[in-house]
Amino acid sequence: MTLPDPMNLRNRIDSIKKSLSVPEFFRYANHHLKRAGKEFVVLCPFHMEKTPSCFLYEDHFHCYGCGAHGDVIDAHIKIKGSDFRTALEELGRLAGIHQYPKPQYSGGSLGKTENRRTKEKTT
Chain residues that interact with Zn ion, rule: CB under 5 A? 44, 46-47, 63, 65-66, 68
Q: Tell me the CA distances in angstroms from 79 to 45, 88, 122, one per residue in order.
A: 7, 14, 57
As a whole number of angstroms, the distance between CA 43 and CA 46 comes to: 9
Least spacing, CB of residue 68 vs Zn ion, in Å? 5
Strands in 39-42's sheet, in edge-to-edge order, are 34-36, 39-42, 54-56, 61-63, 69-70
User: Would you say 46 or 90 has its CB closer to Zn ion?
Assistant: 46
Least spacing, CB of residue 72 vs Zn ion, in Å? 17
User: Would you say 65 or 70 has its CB closer to Zn ion?
Assistant: 65
Least spacing, CB of residue 51 vs Zn ion, in Å? 11
Instruction: State the alpha helices, DSSP H only, in the chain.
Output: 6-19, 22-28, 72-80, 84-95, 108-122
User: Would you say 68 or 91 has its CB closer to Zn ion?
Assistant: 68
Q: How many helices (H) and strands (E) in the chain?
A: 5, 5
Least spacing, CB of residue 50 vs Zn ion, in Å? 12
User: Would you say 26 or 97 has its CB closer to Zn ion?
Assistant: 26
